[in-house]
Structures are given as C-alpha cells and as structure tokens.
C-alpha cells in the first residue's frame, strides 16, 4: 500500500494509460501494477511517502520537501486471523467461494479490501456493525466513502479514461476462466489446468475478445496480458479504463476486453505473482497464421521449456535425530504428483526399522484426494506369545512386512488426513494423522493412529527455519527427545 503524509494522492494514470485525476488517501498496488501519481510538495516541511508490503513486516519511505519531518501513520499489525475468518465464512465445504445473491456476472461489485484488510479500511469499526448484518450490500460501497469517510482507498470503479475506449469494429469472442488453486499445497491454475495441460488459445487478428474471470480462490491474482492493453469494464461504460494488469481479489468476477491487433506471435496471459506463474497459472494466446519466429529454432524444444515450469518437482525433507531412533521423511512433489518416503530407524532389534514409500497423484480441483501405490518394509524383533491381530481381525504384520499396497489419502476438515490401503496379502490398514497443529507461535503438535494398533503423539518447538526441538511417544519405539532438521 502507498500513503502520503502530506495529504491526498492524485492518480492520473494506471499501467501507462491516462485516467481522469482521482484523489485518494491510499493505493493498494498489486504485483507489477503501476500508477502515475501527483502529490503536493510542501514549502517548509518534509512529508513521508510510505510504501508498506502486504504482510506489514517492513516498509520503505521517500521524504518529499525539506524541513521538519512529518511521518505517515504506520499501519497496524496485520489482523491475519480476522481476515481469514471472514474469508472462511465465504467458502463452502467443497472449497468454493460463495457468490452472494445478486452478485453473479457483476464486475468489481465488492471491495474485498474490506474483508482482507479490515484494520486499514475501517470495516471492523463499531459503526459498521450494522452494515455487516445487511448481507449483500454490506460488501460493496465503491464510492469514496467506502470506510465511513475515514479512508479513501483506490479501486477500479474510480478509474475513468479521459476518452472513449470502445474497441474497434470486428467479430467478438467471449472466454471465461475460473481462477483456481490450493493454498495448502500452493499450486495455482486456471480452470484447474496448468499451462502444460492446455493447448494455446488461437485468436485472429481483427477480432475482439472479452474475458470474464472469477476468482474462486482465497488469494488475489494480478492477471497480466503481454503485448496488449485491455479495457477493465466498470461502471464508467464507454470510458472504462485501459490497463494491462488487473488485480482480481477473492470472490470477484471481473471482465476485460482487448482487440487482437498484433501482426502475430504468441502472447502470455498469466498471474504476475511469480510463484503462481511458475506453478502454471496462465495461458498462451497465439495468432493464427503467424510467421515463424526466427529466434526460435525448434518450436518443440521451446514449448517443452515453457511446460517444464509447472512440471518441476520440488524436494522437501526432514529428520528427527532422537534418543529412541531416527524418524524422518523425504518428498518430491509437483502440481499433480507426489513421491513420499518415510522411515523410522531404531537403535536395537526391538525397535527395529521400517520404511514406507508412496507414489500418488492428486485428483480434483482442491487436491484433497490422492490415490497411490506403495511399498512397506519393516522389521522389528518382538517377543509375542501369539500372533497379534489388527482391528479387522487379520494377522498383524506390522513388525515384519515387505509388501506392496494400493491406497488413497483424503484431507478431512481441520487438515486431518485419512489414509486407507490394501496390501498384496489382503490386509487392510486405515490411518488418521495430523501434523503441524499450531499450539502457539512456535509450538506445534501432531498425532497418528491406525488400525494396526500403532499410535504416536508429538510436540515440536521451532528454533529456526530449519531446526526444531521435538519430543514424541511412539507405540513401537517409545519415548524420545531430539533435534529435527528440516529442508
């Protein structure tokens, strides 16, 4: 966000396109978005032009003028959980954002800043309590009095082009995209498909395209189109502003229009948050009958390079060096696939050793469901008077096993994972597990229980990004304390 201690900020252009001057107190600027602004430099004081990132952890300042310094008001600490609570109330059990009655097919009808940042827009003030109860109309007052007259925050409804921006005569085509993703796994897509899973979108020179986007995720997405400016269709009608970045907040349904006027080529359309783009949140618009690009010697190699971004596997690993053994895991994962291996290595024959390896693929838009194939190997020397049985009355092989399995995991509410698998000898195992239960800022808890009669509970204190102190009790390996290293 951008604020000026010296008074109003006058916005005169956005993404290099002129707009009629509009005065505001604050701008919330998306990644790669640009604004031209005018501020008044005082004669005898120095006023702070303050920019603050979304997480409020840092800030940067430019002091305008000379003399006594006048600081801009520092933004309050981010009310992360208040904002997330309000966002959760807008999500159904399938993970879809709930559009309110009367809001479908309408562009920029809500200012989601009031939901995501209640502490800086004034929405959490007592005088707004009645507005919160009114339902639909509580979420949108796009005028300059959006937060009770205290703060004027720029939004796209305020932008008006100085001249008409209607597109030239030509055939029209309409495209619709749903902005999708998974915050837990941090994968992002359009219509649940990444760049490598889709063909190029072919367009013809001279046609006009209307793109309607609905953000069905809990993150904002600044969508950018290479090589073209587009109209952000708002209440200004013929004078809707021209931009090349549109920041789409959760639950928003926005419409852009552009004329296909380039002589040819491929043009990338993507979310400009780097991690979202690299995970495949984009499409390629390609002009029909485009001449070959002399800089690309092999089109297939170039396409493979583009597709490699969202197919790349990323490594995660951790190991607990504990008094009762080594307990760890390693995982290779990308947008769809997951390869995980877990191990528990004891210091004697009674504690033994075991490993489980699963190769799975996530299914569905929210990626809650993952079928897998696996291999389970374990050895533990135990003195049993008779063969143990699992919860289903089958001979329990948890102390001596070398078997393949077929199974699946599913993410339940509260981030509890249920896992079921059938081994090649017919034995069945069900398991419930939850990791990283936040007890405090640095303290995490976890548990595991399954039908083989195994269970585990742990507490972990985070020392630094890669190091934690952990204590746990395991039904097979007993009590242990150790140092956990995470990569």
Full DSSP string of 455-478: EEEEEEEEEETTEEEEEEEETTTE
- Average pLDDT across the chain, whole number: 87
CA distance 127 to 103: 25
pLDDT, position 75? 75
CA distance 123 to 143: 14
CA distance 383 to 335: 45
CA distance 476 to 196: 44
CA distance 382 to 398: 11
What is the percent of the chain where pLDDT is above 70? 84
Q: Residue 24: how many CB atoms within 10 A of its CB?
A: 21
Find out whether 23 and 152 touch, Cβ atoms under 8 Å.
yes
In the chain, the largest separation of any two C-alpha atoms, in whole Å, equals 93
pTM above 0.85, yes or no: no
Assign 182 a pLDDT band (cuts: 50, 70, 90). Answer: confident
- Identify the residue with better confidence: 56 or 139: 56
Assign 111 a pLDDT band (cuts: 50, 70, 90). Answer: low
When pLDDT is averaged across residues 408-419 and rounded to a whole number, the result is 95
When pLDDT is averaged across residues 459-482 and rounded to a whole number, the result is 95
Alpha carbon distance, N-terminus to C-terminus of the chain = 33
Task: Give start and end residues of each alpha helix (H) in 263-373.
Answer: 274-278, 299-311
pLDDT, position 456? 96
Tell me: pLDDT of 369 over 90.
yes
What is the percent of the chain where pLDDT is above 90? 64
CA distance 176 to 192: 13
Rounded to the nearest angstrom, the gap between the alpha carbon of residue 34 and the centroid of all alpha carbons in its chain is: 22
Assign 432 a pLDDT band (cuts: 50, 70, 90). Answer: very high
Tell me: pLDDT of 101 over 90.
no
Convert the pLDDT of each residue in 206-219 to its tens digit: 999 999 999 998 88
pLDDT, position 55? 80
Question: Residue 132 gets which letter from DSSP?
Answer: H
| Domains, the chain | 1-75 (2.60.40.420), 172-310 (2.60.40.420), 314-486 (2.40.160)
Convert the pLDDT of each residue in 299-349 to its tens digit: 899 999 999 999 999 999 999 999 999 999 999 999 999 999 999 998 887
């Amino acid at each position: 966000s951008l604020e000026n201690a010296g008074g109003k900020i006058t916005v005169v252009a956005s993404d290099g396109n002129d707009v009629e001057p509009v005065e505001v107190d604050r701008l919330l600027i998306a990644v790669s978005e640009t604004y031209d602004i005018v501020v008044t430099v005082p004669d005898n004081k120095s006023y702070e032009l303050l920019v603050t990132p979304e997480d409020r952890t840092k800030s940067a300042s430019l002091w305008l003028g000379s003399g006594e310094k006048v600081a801009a008001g520092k933004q309050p600490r981010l009310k992360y959980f208040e904002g997330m609570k309000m966002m959760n109330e807008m999500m159904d059990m399938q993970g879809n954002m709930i559009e309110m009655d009367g809001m479908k097919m309408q562009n920029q009808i809500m200012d989601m800043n009031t939901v995501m940042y209640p502490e800086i827009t004034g929405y959490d003030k007592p005088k707004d309590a009645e507005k919160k109860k009114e339902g639909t109309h509580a979420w949108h007052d796009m005028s300059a009095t959006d937060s009770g007259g205290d703060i004027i925050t720029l939004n796209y409804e305020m932008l008006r082009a100085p001249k008409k921006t209607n597109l030239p005569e030509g055939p029209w085509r309409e495209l619709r995209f749903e902005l999708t993703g998974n915050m837990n796994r941090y994968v992002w897509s359009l219509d649940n498909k990444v760049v490598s899973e889709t063909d190029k979108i072919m367009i013809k020179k001279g046609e006009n395209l209307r793109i309607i986007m609905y953000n069905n995720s809990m993150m904002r997405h600044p969508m950018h189109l290479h090589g073209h400016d587009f109209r952000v269709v708002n209440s200004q009608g013929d004078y809707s502003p021209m931009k090349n970045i549109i920041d789409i907040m959760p639950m928003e349904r926005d419409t852009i229009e552009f004329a296909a006027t380039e002589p040819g080529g491929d043009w990338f359309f993507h979310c400009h948050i780097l991690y979202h783009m690299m995970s495949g949140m984009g499409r390629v618009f390609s002009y029909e009958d485009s001449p070959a690009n002399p800089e690309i010697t092999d089109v297939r190699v170039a396409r493979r390079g583009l597709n490699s971004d969202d197919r790349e596997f990323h490594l995660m690993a951790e190991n607990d060096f504990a008094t009762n053994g080594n307990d760890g895991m390693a995982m290779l994962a990308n947008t769809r696939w997951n390869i995980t291996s877990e191990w528990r290595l004891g210091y004697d024959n009674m504690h033994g050793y075991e490993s489980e390896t699963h190769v799975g693929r996530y299914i569905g838009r929210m990626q809650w469901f993952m079928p897998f194939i696996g291999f389970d190997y374990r050895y533990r020397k135990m003195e049993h008077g008779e063969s143990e049985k699992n919860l289903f009355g089958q001979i329990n092989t948890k102390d001596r096993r070398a078997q393949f399995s077929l199974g699946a995991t599913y993410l339940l509410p509260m981030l509890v994972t249920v896992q079921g698998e059938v081994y090649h000898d017919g034995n069945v195992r069900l398991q419930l597990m939850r990791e990283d239960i936040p007890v405090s800022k640095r303290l995490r808890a976890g548990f595991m229980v399954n039908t083989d009669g195994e269970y585990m509970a742990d507490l972990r204190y985070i020392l630094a990004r890669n190091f934690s102190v952990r204590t746990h009790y395991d039904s097979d390996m007993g009590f242990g304390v150790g140092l956990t290293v995470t990569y």
